[in-house]
Structure 1
Amino acid sequence: MNGTQITLRAGTALSALALAFAAAPQAMAQTTDDQTNAGQTADQTAPAAQAAETAGDIIVTGSRIRRSNFSSPEPLTVISKDEMTQAGFSSVSDALQSTAVTQGSSQINNYYGGYVVDGGTGVNSIGLRGLGATRTLVLLNGHRLSPAGTRGSVGSVDLNSIPDAIVKRIEVLKAGASSIYGSDAVAGVINILTDDSIKGLVLEAQTNVPEVGAGTANRLSASFGAHGDRWHLIGSVDYYNRSSLTIGDTDFARCPIGGYLSGAGTAMGSGDYIDPATGQSKCWSLDNGGLTINTLGVPTRTATPAAGETATAFNRLRPNAAVTGGNTPGYEGVGNYTRTTFDPAMLNEQVVTPLRTYTGFLSGSYDLHALGDAQVYVELLGNRRQSSSLGYRQLTLDYATGSLLVPTMFRSGVFSSATAVSNGQTVAARSFIGYGLLNSSQDVYTYRTAGGIRGNLGLGDWSYDAYGAYSWMRSSYATDTFITSKVAKSLNVVQNTDGSFSCVDSSGGCVAAPAINAASIGGNLSQAYRDYITDTVVGHTKFDEITGAFNVNGSLFKLPGGNAAAALGFEYRHDQLNDQPPIESVNGDMYNLTSATPTVGSDEVWEAYGELNLPLLANLPFVHALTIDGSGRYTHYRSYGGQWTYKGSATYEPVKGFGLRTSYGTSYRAPALFEQYLGATSGFLSGSYDPCDNYATSSNPIIQRNCAAAGLPGTFTQTGSVTVLTAGGAETGLRAETSKNFSAGAVINPVLPGKMGVLSASLDYFSIEVDNEVSRVGASGLLNLCYGSANFPSSSYCNYVTRDANNQLTVQDNYINISTDKRRGWEFDLRYQNRMFGGTFLVDAMVTKYVEQSSRVLDGDALVDANGTIGSPDWTGSLNASYRSGPVTLHYGIDWIKGSSNDRVAKYVATDSDTGIVDQATYELIKDNYYLGTPDYFLHNASIQFDIERYELTMGVRNLFDQMPPSITSGVYSMVGNSPLYSGYDYTGRTFYLNVTARF
């Protein structure tokens, strides 16, 4: 499910946008608090600063043409460094992933440590409009940054590699711009701009300390600038460290419960699985975070029931020395709700994973006084990211039928067919052992060297810019894991004369597996055995990117509204990805984890583009200003051939202070390297992901019907794992993506009388439709779509799911072309600034209303709209205010995510993906028995900033009222405790921050 004053000034761009409609450019010089101009407070925004610091024309994100004012025919959000500091963001990554930029769409951040994500654990990425990170272009000073991460699915920029210390502002264009920037600007463009005005040395330190005392983030940095008559040099070094926040550190996640409701109107947890030992709702039940541990799996047999059980036949037993009679002396029978599912070590799993980065940046230029007053420039960027994630692991030991390690009463039974560790024999018994925490870590080095030459062509105001860059990323990823071959060897034993056991094959220091008894089932394993069956396996990923570009731009001829201008250019890009997984993964030797083959591939693209700006009319009755823009690009991939993209836009101001704007464009995106060449992988899901596992107790009548139609009894138990096979799309006929992007809106910037200040506002409608979108559905999603379909077994999703004669499931989860993905909605921005009470008051507001967030997976399917559900909110907003008087600035901000109604989510879950029809029985059952509604979610932040001579001190609080994420019923969404996993929620709680900056 897909995705502030900060002072985040979405409205920052509004005044400037309105100015674009004026007949003559208005001066936008940054002023002090004492200065006013004709009763209007001067705009102290990032665009104003840009215009003031730049001699001559400027380049605006979203265009290649130099302009005499800061203008855009589409919504543009600007975030300044000061605003990030005042809002308490400890990194650029945190600011970009805030609600005001993402409009509530979910992003990959350090909440996802236990999940498989593109780019690997620890990556932070950004995707606009909920369309994913590979469809949002990230630039540094107008030039693209290359992907970084680990494993074979590296395809997007890792925000951790941005040089935080020297960032001056960020410009966010939330509209497609493929014809301007290239194929991956489908949903928008983020341009990160460094501060080239630094003089001397700037030292900065920031700490963010959550009230819970864990998850602290600290940043230390130094930046500098030096200037001469012909040269200019700036640079920075950054150190950032964020410690982990564990489940045990948080109140809301310590005791996840199933949250199942017994009927309409009942309270959360009232129909929960009750722990017989406490009489309370059971924490860590199997349906929310718990794992079967301290339990023995055997063929179904009569056994003494554990306390709280009413059944008499069981295939899961638990050691109990008090049981001395019956068929299973020393063991009692347990069901799904009485078996052991919690180990205190689970509390040490991480809600927020730890991260450490080191970043260096250097930029310089030199004026040649030749070649058209040319300037040679260079940029160097280096970054190292170290991250890790702890995960709790269950160890399953499959003892073969007849094994001497199995108690005599279970030795001849057959619990399941042969598995990867049973040495070709049927399995008599399976020990479900709580093993403990195992670590995975990532070490990522990202480098970029770029430079070029820019100057005048000697043809009027025409200029040129020739640019080239080489970026390379080298990473390693280490995983602590059980080794399948060693576990298998340890289970193949002979008994010695003294009663002990030895491996049949003793090579490699084999240590025999423990015999089945209360101690081994309970996780009491010798250190020698633990050391033998586990190992740290390491993989390596390389990504290289070479880019080159040449651009010319300037005026063409005079029009009634001003000078027509154009830009022309060529670009070249060559990408190469080489991921070499651990040899144990290649050989399928990582027990109950994925296997993978190398992902190796390259592609190159040649592009030619042109852009035209035509100020048609100005200063006429009912036409204060009329401008149209057009652009076109031809893109040719070595892998997917070529195609044209284009874009047209217009701005019309009938009277001064009121303007209309619109744009329409197309895009063409070939699949990323990892989407094309991802090496074939195989992995496993727990058997509990089989929709037919114990389906008689399922709350979904469609699944009950379909599993029965598959010939399975209602008591069917899945004893094996679900095999998941994945491959890149090049071998499966993957097609290139295309999209259409439309926007239309109005901007007002009235001249207010007297000392009423400056007001600007805009309202825009946006619509984007992506066809042939490249994606993966997900194995569990395919299973549920198949067995939850009203058209089972003819559903198109069932083509990816097979069940063999032994009822073992295999899911093909390749990259495929999703038929359609649509996003439509409205954005409203408001900004007001005025002098009052001896200071300057500023308020910004941004509200986004989605009217559609729909998709269909396969041709012929219905569009299913997720709008208004968890992770896809239909309303989001930010309201931010600041007041500056002398050296003191007060700031207050609110982020808002509209909640989801239980009824809306129930309808979405009950909608058949093939037909788009809501299954009424499923809807009624979910609506009455699940709690999936979430309240409106507000995050408040407040700060005070002192700016005294060379020093600046900012202190404040994020999540001022300690707002925790909402609780829902598990089973539908990925969860953190009883809260849905969603980047829009804050899992750290109230956080205090302090920033100190000194300039020398």
Structure 2
Amino acid sequence: MPQGRRILSRVWEFSMITSYKHRLLFGAAFVAGLALTPQMAVAQAAPENPAAPGCVDDNNDGVCDTDIASADGSQNNGEIVVTGSRLRRDQFNTADPIQVITRNETTQAGFTNTTDVLQSTKVTGGTSQINNLYGGFVVDGGPGVNTVSLRGLGTSRTLVLLNGRRVSPAGSRGAVGVADLNVLPNAVLERIEVLNTGASSIYGSDAIAGVINMVTRRDLNGVEFDASVSVPGEGDGISQRVALLGGFNTDRLHVLGSLEYFRRSAIEFGDREWASCPTGLYGTNGSDFGAGDYIDPRTGQVKCFPLENGGVTVNTIGTPNLAGGTVVRAPGVPAGYTGVCNRFRPLPGAGGAVPGYECVGGGALSTNIRDTFSPALLKEDLLSPVETFGAFGQIRYDLDILGNAEIYTEFLFNRRKSNQDGQRQFTLDYPLGSPLIPVGLRFPGAVGAATPTTNGAPIGIRVFADYGIYNNRQEVDYTRVNGGIRGDLPYNWRYDLFAGKSWSDAEYTTDLILTDRLAQSFDVVANPDGTFRCRINISGCVAAPVLTPAVVGGQFPAAWFDFVTDPVTGTTKYTESTFAANIDGPLFRLPGGEVQLALGAEYRKARIDDTPGPDSQRNNLYGFTSSTPTRGTDSVWEVFGEIELPLVRESFIHDLTINASGRYTEYDSYGGDWTYKVGALFSPIRAISFRGSYGTSFRAPLLFEQFLGRTSGFLGSTTDPCADLAAVTNPLVRERCLADGLPADFIQRSSVTSIGVGGAEAGLAAETSTALTGGIVLQPSLGRFGLSLSADYFDIKVDNGVARLTAANVLSQCYNNPERTTCRPELISRDANNALTVVSSYVNISDARVRGIDYNARFTAPLGSGQLRLNAAVTQFLERYSRTFPTQDILDVVGLISNPEWTGQFDATFGMEDVSLRYQVEWIGATDSQDYAEPFGYDPNEYLLRTKDYFLHTASVSFDVTEQFGMTVGVRNIFDKKPPRISADYTNLIGNAPLYSGFDVVGRSFFLGLNAGF
């Protein structure tokens, strides 16, 4: 891969990161309708505090005058726990801004589930997220997983909580390590709180970029039915949700539960015109992009390429090199061409050296001549389908003993069924001299003499056929059960004892080709009637088909195709257990109020067990990589404390509060370390507040990073940088080779052993980070009008980051880098005979940084018989980069394609007693990679590598039909905005659109939400 392509690939890698019927599960019809609309940051007072439903700040002093549920699920007479703290307080003001998504807005934004809300531009700042667009890509957690990455720092650096407790990982395949948003409840949620900065001193591992906490409803008397549907104008990709909620309360017992069902149908590439024909989009004069695209000489039209805009061959055979003057040449091959031909496609009646075929490639010929686009490509999933069933329940019982103790328990179950349709090439290697090759195609030479068939024989003819559609499918069951007891202690202190366990059990299956069966099928002998049979009839072997144009075109005999293909199934289990104890209460009084202290201890143990299918383990998958089991366990003990000092309040200054927290962590796998955080809130007057914090955080290595299944192999002797030391001219390499104790005339005569291991074997430890925030909040008193403005700077730096190195990475960084980054005995070693062994593993070597500013504004005003509310939330990224090696140059991706510098959301709501009107605009700023890509060969006169500002408009109206029945109707993406188009080859594409979750691939959608209470 050229250097430019490699670096451009790193840019993308960083940015990563129809009608139908359905049965009613358990005989009931369930939910949907919970679409939560993001609000502005609320770590300050406002006339109507948006931090929680029903919380009204009547006197504009930052104090909540209505009892509300805490972020940890408890409730204590107006005292609350805000995400990012363990302390209970009577106000929302904190040193860090907390973004809140309230249930009050329900379906007004057009979202149909929690996943879509958490991956929205408002929450993520426009950074790319793993969603159902990535069904054909290898992602941590397996196909169908949906994750969230705050600040674009990666999914493993964002901590997801439910009622203040961790949501453990779920998913399939060996790389399960983070929470799958599919498991989260929807209809029972009250609000979502988002902290966009480090908080490991409060919550432990993973809280590097921030914390997302879902808070459920506390009480319900009676039964509620919610339903919502979103129908794209194209008629496919329909999302439906139904839910049933019920609950009751007595003097001591409080019960709440929900059942819900969600389904979204697939959208195929052929369903969207803009994605159905990828082209080069090559320009000729800097503005006429597309004028330089390749014209298919057979049709006279611009040629469509595969959906990833690559060049996979189909409907073609490969032969030994033949002279162009001896064969029939396809349109597009220059007249009189006498050079090499070695790619041919069927042409009935064609003569020449390759009867029945025409030359479409080889030598100096353009690769565009050959066929690359299969009709099956249009059946691939653009947006893969998903179906989930969820159940949630919580019970609280007041004991009136043990300090007015409350026993509580919570249950969550979710089943996800997802699948992804993809297209692949099927390469068939007919052995040299095989009777399955027609006489006219039995050339004396071999195809790619150094590349044998699966039988080890030279290749006579290679067929590049179209396999068609293959399917991945997953069924993931997630169960979470927890509970505890909490109550009062003397001197207004409180305690909370907690225990919980979660299970993720997944089964994943892929339709694949088995290498051994394919090899058996080509080892044939002739029958008396001229047909063929397998030489060794093992397991019902079916002979491969005779090479014909139909086979080249992907029309395979059903019996043979069924023999060489098989569903391959693996299982993944992930369990996590947690035990915690917390106490909190006042210490003494300062001028600003009581000093609050929280202390606690926590123990967690997690286990992963991924067992790929037997054929995967024994490397029997044709064209797919093998996998070995990933199994391991890790545990951690933690103690932590937090203190808040209200130094001054309502005196010569309005408020001065300092908060500090610390945590000591001891992991069984690598040891322990401290984290801390200090923050302050300073309000000289009520209308102005300054806030900020500085702290350290960490991320413990994920279990799969530690225990990924061990693999071993052998590389050629020339892989050793010292293979022929006398001929080495690079002084850095020569210096290191001599330091290894090698003689000056050393020659490597042994192969290089390459071992892939989990990071635990290489001493993998936690990655560490620092986070700095600082901001200002303005809240002038305007009588009946409410105005709040804020700007918050953030700077998060990750060190000792976990990265996986290949053998080539390890050798290059040791021998060819003055820093000798990987010259570690656990990675590179030589035996007594100087044979080289290289260990590739996860190691602590990378770093990353993100800086930017969050701007928020909120204005409320009475208007006639209702109230008008205007919100704006904008994020500006100043710097964002990630490096595998600290010696690499910093590549700041801000402003490049899929990494916008500016993003925002603006909404206006006018509400009256029974009616609410809302208009929302989501904004993704323009991006431009023209100047960046030019040094790597992307001429700005030939490549369109920029996108314009991208706006999505949504409008809705909600109204109460009766006292017990409400309705919301609306349109999302009103103007049917399509993803922007760029030229091919720069990055991963969907058609000509960048593979980026911020762009809407669904199109204009009409949504309806219903809610009824009984």
Give the TM-score of the pair, scaled to structure 2. Answer: 0.86
Aligned to 1:495: 526
Among 290, 297, 314, the alignment partner of 1:293 is 314
2:120 is equivalent to residue 91 of structure 1: no
- Report the AA paired with residue 465 of structure 1: D
Q: CA deviation at 1:268?
A: 2.3
Q: d(CA) in 1 for partners of 2:54 and 2:373?
A: 62
SS at match of 1:768: strand
Gaps of 5+ in 1: 21-25, 684-722, 802-809, 911-919
Aligned to 2:950: 937
- Report the AA paired with residue 702 of structure 2: A
- Report the AA paired with residue 305 of structure 2: W
Q: d(CA) in 2 for partners of 1:11 and 1:441?
A: 39
Q: What aligned pairs does 1:509-524 form with structure 2 within 5 A after superposition?
A: 509-524=540-555
Q: What aligned pairs does 1:624-639 form with structure 2 within 5 A after superposition?
A: 624-639=654-669
Q: CA deviation at 1:950?
A: 0.7
Q: CA deviation at 1:41?
A: 14
SS at match of 2:861: strand
Q: d(CA) in 2 for partners of 1:60 and 1:928?
A: 53
Decide whether aligned partners of structure 1 residues 38 and 556 sit closer, same or farther in structure 2, where only a CA change above 3 A counts.
closer
SS at match of 2:1009: strand
Report if aligned partners of 1:79, 1:170 keep a CA contact under 8 Å in 2. Answer: yes
SS at match of 1:11: strand
- Report the AA paired with residue 939 of structure 1: L
Q: d(CA) in 2 for partners of 1:782 and 1:926?
A: 30
Decide whether aligned partners of structure 1 residues 849 and 949 sit closer, same or farther in structure 2, where only a CA change above 3 A counts.
same
Decide whether aligned partners of structure 1 residues 736 and 359 sit closer, same or farther in structure 2, where only a CA change above 3 A counts.
same
Aligned to 1:333: 359
2:950 is equivalent to residue 946 of structure 1: no
Decide whether aligned partners of structure 1 residues 46 and 595 sit closer, same or farther in structure 2, where only a CA change above 3 A counts.
farther
Q: d(CA) in 1 for partners of 2:838 and 2:346?
A: 35
Q: What aligned pairs does 1:502-901 form with structure 2 within 5 A after superposition?
A: 502-621=533-652, 623-680=653-710, 727-753=757-783, 755=784, 757-776=785-804, 814-901=841-928
Q: CA deviation at 1:45?
A: 12
Among 181, 184, 209, the alignment partner of 1:162 is 184
Decide whether aligned partners of structure 1 residues 556 and 43 sit closer, same or farther in structure 2, where only a CA change above 3 A counts.
closer
Q: CA deviation at 1:14?
A: 5.0
Report if aligned partners of 1:252, 1:977 keep a CA contact under 8 Å in 2. Answer: yes
SS at match of 2:116: helix
Q: CA deviation at 1:817?
A: 3.5
Q: d(CA) in 2 for partners of 1:125 and 1:342?
A: 32
Moved more, 114-123 or 11-20: 11-20
Q: CA deviation at 1:797?
A: 11
Decide whether aligned partners of structure 1 residues 614 and 18 sit closer, same or farther in structure 2, where only a CA change above 3 A counts.
farther
What CA deviation, in whole Å up to 9, does each residue of 1:768-815 have, x standing for no partner? Answer: 000122234899x989x999xxx99999999999xxxxxxxx999853
Q: d(CA) in 2 for partners of 1:841 and 1:52?
A: 32
Report if aligned partners of 2:145, 2:171 keep a CA contact under 8 Å in 1. Answer: yes
Decide whether aligned partners of structure 1 residues 994 and 681 sit closer, same or farther in structure 2, where only a CA change above 3 A counts.
farther
SS at match of 2:274: coil
What CA deviation, in whole Å up to 9, does each residue of 1:558-589 have, x standing for no partner? Answer: 10111001000000000000000011100111
Aligned to 1:703: none
Decide whether aligned partners of structure 1 residues 39 and 175 sit closer, same or farther in structure 2, where only a CA change above 3 A counts.
closer
SS at match of 2:369: coil
Among 40, 47, 51, the alignment partner of 1:11 is 40
Report if aligned partners of 1:398, 1:419 keep a CA contact under 8 Å in 2. Answer: no
Moved more, 287-296 or 736-745: 287-296
Report if aligned partners of 1:393, 1:436 keep a CA contact under 8 Å in 2. Answer: yes
Report if aligned partners of 2:503, 2:574 keep a CA contact under 8 Å in 1. Answer: yes
Q: What aligned pairs does 1:222-371 form with structure 2 within 5 A after superposition?
A: 222-262=244-284, 264-284=285-305, 288-289=309-310, 291-302=312-323, 303-310=327-334, 311-312=337-338, 313-325=340-352, 327-335=353-361, 336-371=367-402
Q: d(CA) in 2 for partners of 1:177 and 1:837?
A: 44
Decide whether aligned partners of structure 1 residues 269 and 777 sit closer, same or farther in structure 2, where only a CA change above 3 A counts.
farther
- Report the AA paired with residue 847 of structure 1: V
Q: CA deviation at 1:278?
A: 2.5
2:484 is equivalent to residue 456 of structure 1: no
What CA deviation, in whole Å up to 9, does each residue of 1:464-522 have, x standing for no partner? Answer: 00000011111100111111111111111112232211111111111111122212111
- Report the AA paired with residue 787 of structure 2: L
- Report the AA paired with residue 356 of structure 2: G
Aligned to 2:749: none
Report if aligned partners of 1:2, 1:871 keep a CA contact under 8 Å in 2. Answer: yes
What CA deviation, in whole Å up to 9, does each residue of 1:114-171 have, x standing for no partner? Answer: 0111001111111111111111111111111110000000011111111111011000
Aligned to 1:686: none
- Report the AA paired with residue 358 of structure 2: E
Decide whether aligned partners of structure 1 residues 794 and 283 sit closer, same or farther in structure 2, where only a CA change above 3 A counts.
farther
Q: d(CA) in 1 for partners of 2:260 and 2:188?
A: 9
Q: d(CA) in 1 for partners of 2:505 and 2:65?
A: 41
Q: d(CA) in 2 for partners of 1:624 and 1:584?
A: 69
The alignment-based identity, stated in percent, is 45
Decide whether aligned partners of structure 1 residues 478 and 419 sit closer, same or farther in structure 2, where only a CA change above 3 A counts.
farther
Q: d(CA) in 2 for partners of 1:892 and 1:349?
A: 34
Give the TM-score of the pair, scaled to structure 1. Answer: 0.87
Q: d(CA) in 1 for partners of 2:173 and 2:199?
A: 29
Report if aligned partners of 1:611, 1:632 keep a CA contact under 8 Å in 2. Answer: yes
SS at match of 1:248: helix
Report if aligned partners of 2:43, 2:94 keep a CA contact under 8 Å in 1. Answer: no
Give the count of matched residue pairs.
Answer: 918
Q: d(CA) in 2 for partners of 1:990 and 1:329?
A: 52
Q: d(CA) in 1 for partners of 2:806 and 2:273?
A: 31
Q: What aligned pairs does 1:379-398 form with structure 2 within 5 A after superposition?
A: 379-398=410-429
Q: CA deviation at 1:461?
A: 1.2
- Report the AA paired with residue 942 of structure 1: A
Moved more, 201-210 or 497-506: 497-506
Q: d(CA) in 2 for partners of 1:289 and 1:811?
A: 33
Q: d(CA) in 2 for partners of 1:530 and 1:884?
A: 62
Aligned to 1:403: 434
Report if aligned partners of 1:368, 1:376 keep a CA contact under 8 Å in 2. Answer: yes
Among 988, 993, 997, the alignment partner of 2:1007 is 993
Q: CA deviation at 1:940?
A: 1.0
Q: d(CA) in 1 for partners of 2:309 and 2:446?
A: 29
SS at match of 2:518: helix
Decide whether aligned partners of structure 1 residues 125 and 400 sit closer, same or farther in structure 2, where only a CA change above 3 A counts.
same
- Report the AA paired with residue 433 of structure 1: A
Report if aligned partners of 2:612, 2:629 keep a CA contact under 8 Å in 1. Answer: yes
- Report the AA paired with residue 940 of structure 1: H
Q: d(CA) in 1 for partners of 2:820 and 2:969?
A: 57
Report if aligned partners of 1:7, 1:882 keep a CA contact under 8 Å in 2. Answer: no
Decide whether aligned partners of structure 1 residues 650 and 793 sit closer, same or farther in structure 2, where only a CA change above 3 A counts.
closer
Report if aligned partners of 1:11, 1:761 keep a CA contact under 8 Å in 2. Answer: no
Q: CA deviation at 1:979?
A: 0.6
Q: d(CA) in 2 for partners of 1:338 and 1:181?
A: 58
What CA deviation, in whole Å up to 9, does each residue of 1:280-332 have, x standing for no partner? Answer: 2211259715531110011221232211112442221112123213x222211
Moved more, 400-409 or 576-585: 400-409
Q: d(CA) in 2 for partners of 1:6 and 1:250?
A: 26
Q: d(CA) in 1 for partners of 2:611 and 2:256?
A: 37
Q: d(CA) in 2 for partners of 1:65 and 1:482?
A: 57
Report if aligned partners of 1:41, 1:835 keep a CA contact under 8 Å in 2. Answer: no
